[in-house]
A and B are shown apart, each in its own frame.
Chain A
């Protein structure tokens, strides 16, 4: 049975059973955590908040046995312990729901949920019937009717998320770490999830809840711990906090200091004009971007923002509709055509899409510019070196030399190297997905200023981000996507997290307040 966590009285604020003390962790080029302490008690939801790069995911991975801390110790019911592998963490009842999905595509939903704890009959063979029944029982708790016998490869993003959650419920979980569990869920699914969390609490499990959505944090958590730049800002009872207070703690300074003052574009001839675009999940997409304008796209995961960015770069087949750059209609069926049309893409996964990690900073920066740097088939070594150096200087990429392998740079500097690839020959339109994912706060501010500088130089910028504060702080306009189309548009100055989320979740029920509005 799923909720067989040790029965305890619902003792809120009982003594923490798991504590990490003075944890520090470094990676090449970056200090991810410095002297952080954190604990969780039975029957408690402890929220962990912080911006991208604050150290949340590192802390989480230390608590689940993926990383070892450089300094500090882990205490389990007062005893120092080591968690050397995910397996050791699991043995203590620590479950983690990763943000990036970890399902096994070729296995069924039931197998995924009960992986490594498959029910067996008395001959030690797997009892498929029992397995499917148990999985169905767990899924029923989440009020979803995903079939346990479906291969995981056939699930939608939201269903994958639910199966991930179901995995963590399958066994005596004492501690469940949820990393952005609601990122792909709609309002109703979020409600179901919260129902499950309440029941887990009652059963005595401790829950660490990580979310960008502060309304949810305020709604579900008992305590909030704020991290910033790898350091602990503080732990507070949720009841003592308001949303603006959390934001101030997270950011540590006024928003105005982080984001440059907005300069509205003066040109009124659109640089990019998209009309009636249809492709894959996208339909009826029409919008414009002016030269010098920064336009943000918000929405839940899986609502089409990704596909939109991809189709502008020739990665999604476009069914119908037109894309015009600087007044001329362009056909974009491959990245090469997109680049020729003056469009560049900075993807949300720089290690997969952006950089050839074995190669040097110089070689990476030169890569999209080889046609320009080549004379008669031969690469001009001097031109290449100077282009690379120019980018290293202009974008302040901190690297010992242009010959350094990009693998050894910090996340922020890698991200700047990706921008540098495109800035050798500046494009008309820069499409950026998650501009600051996995980047520390210093680099984050630099990147914001760079983006802002590019816009001032007349480039159009399209940003897709899951960080609403980032969109609100940076963009001139914010378009919200829901179910493959643009559901609303907000001027950057008027957008609030609430107003965006309301459209994004496709509901008129604001989560935090619970009051109902009808349109």
Chain B
């Protein structure tokens, strides 16, 4: 049942807009990011990149670079191959990737060699002096070219095809049969273009091999430090206890800091060989051209419906461009991630989805940018599809959605593509959005404007997300099940330290994790120190991405705290001189049942745990919990965009944007709202300005921030937000996660709004990004057809 935040009972720490505990260091410029760390005798690594998207490497001459004073080493793929470190396994284990181009360079800017020197400037100078002779080869720029198998990209693989995999889910024959028999049917090719998460802090590493202790310390920009430790151990053979990964303050991640990059490996190899610390920090160009991109899904979306607008079947066939290696960090069982969420918020009787992935001469990646494993692509496909169907039916797009929503009494809802949605009240969330924005009035205004030829559009997106991987029985990384963990130690004076296996990059865990624990224990969240990112001290966890921190680690925190409460109850009984059965936890303290006023606080219990524990009991007060969630969580939202399009220039003004989110129980409304603002801004960027595009020769056209645009404060619209609360029934505190919802839910609201504005011109679909030029050309072509 959806409620508003105001309806929830008063809480101790949960649901409060507590100011962030991490901020005092950031506002003073005292954050400690990767590049801020300086170690004695540290060397610097710079990389040499291929200018060609596809080329045979004929020779590499290191001599001039090595002759430069200050250069300590030049490392090539051949050197790594000799050390058996040239190939890395990809996260799902189905492919491997080169560290340095070896034999062939497979994409423009691919790393070909590394130069280690005494300063960052000398390392860069040295990289300029490495002479590489290339023999250019014809590139594969699109997955459609790759599909023809005229050029085979990967010499190293046994199967001589560019086809990586075919994945499907659902009943193909039934879906196609239903589509054929449908009274109304739409089909549209929809592209979710290649884009890039581009966190403001670039990726980097500082590897420090201490030959005296035999320990390798790796400081790195990591969203998943434990997984990275395990990966480093598996690849290098160094025992895992001899590897210490520290992810310091991370300046934004958005999925870009999940993969392992060649720079990390080369710097580490250099440190192991030379025995001094080696730092590598990438440039913005290196970040945009070589590290984990997002999307690149070409989707054929077909929907069938009755004349009354009841959907009958969905079929989505996707051609995916994975770049030169299949390095998308998907769980093994799900090569196309959670794309099966493509039925969205709608009760499809039957559905079918398939993905065929191909190698191309582009950088690898594919799982990133605030997206829980292909959910952004899926959500875009269904929400665009529903709008196109509404237009074909000549029906209001909100009305069509309402006729097909999964109803609140249908939860838990088994979807035709195999997920069980936990909870939701799509009707209530949507109604709230319509009321706040004044939907009917806007439609009236639009009708008036259309009479005079003005192009005003209203776009809706009533999306459902799928986040919080595990459960471990379905989801893994490198075979490691996707649980997460928490460890809580309460000190004698009632303050404590809280550690988790996640690693925040701006999400505010130092605050929200303290709030969760404080809520469970009745302690002061200001006196609970939260620590993440150090593999020597934090319990093993799978990290922060795919909106999984609150659904998974959040559960672990609550359950670890409840273990503390269990022990605390025994101590409380001892202090109250009562039987444990007569003690209950209520109103954030331990009370003697039936004796008002006879109670002890957790703070008193904590002191007793060290000074006066019950006889024959274990002193101390700490607990650990490894939480493997029973299901994913399914946040939802109803977003409405209102735009005005200038017919003469193609310029789009986003006049209003409202996001009503339902992420279950809210831990900190201020932080949730901040996450939504940020995600909407990224969705806005994808809709209107961002694409990593290539020319027909395979040259990357968007290699820095002057070509790959990030919205500034000037373009960014004013965001309106609201929420409903439908708790997740299986999550320990009812939370669902929110970080990615605004990015998953918003691009289609913008595009639907622009297409709605352009409807009088007969324009059905334009692929993102909707740049001024693209919109202008579409208007001009449409007008030419009419006249």
- The answer to whether A and B interact is no
Which A residues are closer than 8 A to B by beta carbons? none
